Amino acid sequence: MKNKTHWIFAILTLSAITIAYGYTKLIVPKQKLTAMNCDEVPNTTEESLFKPTIENKNKPVGKAPAGMVWIPGGEFSMGSNVEDESLCSIKGVTKDAAPIHRVYVDGFYMDKTEVTNDQFEAFVKATGYVTLAEIKPTHEEYPDAPLENLVAGSAVFTPTPAQIDLNNYMQWWTYVHGADWRHPEGAGSSIKGRGNYPVVQISYDDAAAYAKWAGKRLPTEAEWEFAARGGKSGELYAWGNTLKPKGKFQANIYQGHFPLEKGDTGEDGYIGIAPTAKFAPNSYGLYDIGGNVWEWTNDWYTADYYEIISKKDQVVKNPQGPESSYDPSEPGLPKKVQRGGSFLCTDQYCTRYMVGTRGKGDYKSPANHIGFRCVQ
């Protein structure tokens, strides 16, 4: 039984989940990340580093493609000067989003919402595509794993029965046999009646395959942030500088005691994942650009990419990300950048719904809080 557990966790770690919460492993070693009372506005410094966004004036002729909006592109200040991983002052974890630097992107169309179950189902029906989570791991991939542990599945958030120290994300994630886009929480779950919910349990390759079929592509990290900022400069969130303007949540995130069973109070109107477009859009007409589900971008992840490109001391035009991935906390896992946070982001642990901050994930890592949207 011990060996079986070991290999299930090995598969979980190596091929199904290197989720955003792995940040704390090396950057904040030995620190117990327990829940505490948090201020609404995190510590910020050097606000003057954010300069105004300069939008392009040219617009394409004709109507936007169905379900998409025009993002004008232009020059903007990219990154974050928020020093905390969460609003509880866990210092130093957002260093990969610094320094703030000037970037230019061309204009593009972007999906108004994250790709939905209905949209992804149309793709699968048209192509016969099989997602990574539906494919049984092979003995060649894991030669030392017991054969009975090589089963198709993916990572599912599993609340804990009691409050825990938030120093090991494996405590609330489980590799579940049969978890895939049709069964986000495992074989007993279903997306029936949830056609307008974001599709999840999607790896990077799954998202890229859908985008190609749809005549689109995944956004670069710079395109994603330009679009999320909605023409504004330096604001903490896609909707402004206040988490709850007039006392109302603007995104589907986690309220309550994370990661307890029944810990999410649903103060924002939803416990767990929400349908798309249930909150107000940002200034460009994009829904759920913060919260609900993480969104894949096309860029490989390195922790020092912003530092490297900012040294050129000039506006970086249409950056495509580094040529390869390196995460010092998990150097053996190639990762892509994820953006926007999810319904599991909380002020107790992960506030990556802050618009300038970055997520990361093994590109072969589907989970039930990861989706995507496309650009064209």
Phi, psi for 222 (deg, rounded to 5): -65, -40
> What local confidence, expressed as pLDDT, does residue 88 receive?
47
Global pTM value: 0.88
SS3 state of residue 25: helix
What integer pLDDT is reported at residue 83 of this predicted model? Answer: 61
- C-alpha distances (whole Å) from 158 to each of 198, 267, 299, 352, 360 are 19, 20, 29, 20, 20
pLDDT of the residue at 312: 82
Nearest to 97 by CA among 320, 309, 252, 366: 309
Measure CA 43 to chain center.
22
Residue 84 has a pLDDT of 53
> Is residue 134 helix, strand or coil?
helix
DSSP sequence for 4-21: HHHHHHHHIIIII---GG
Predicted local confidence at residue 26, as pLDDT = 24
Strand pairing of 108-111 and 68-71?
antiparallel
pLDDT (tens digit, 0 to 9) for every residue of the chain, 376 residues total? 333 333 333 344 433 334 333 322 222 233 333 333 444 444 444 446 899 999 999 999 999 999 999 999 999 999 988 765 554 444 555 789 999 999 999 999 999 999 999 999 999 999 999 999 999 999 898 888 888 889 999 999 999 999 888 878 889 999 999 999 999 999 999 999 999 999 999 999 999 999 999 999 999 999 999 999 999 999 999 999 999 999 999 999 999 999 999 999 999 999 999 999 999 999 999 999 999 999 999 999 999 999 999 988 899 999 999 999 999 989 999 999 999 999 999 887 788 899 999 999 999 999 999 999 999 9
CA-CA distance, 334 to 326, in Å (whole number)? 7
**pLDDT for 81:** 81
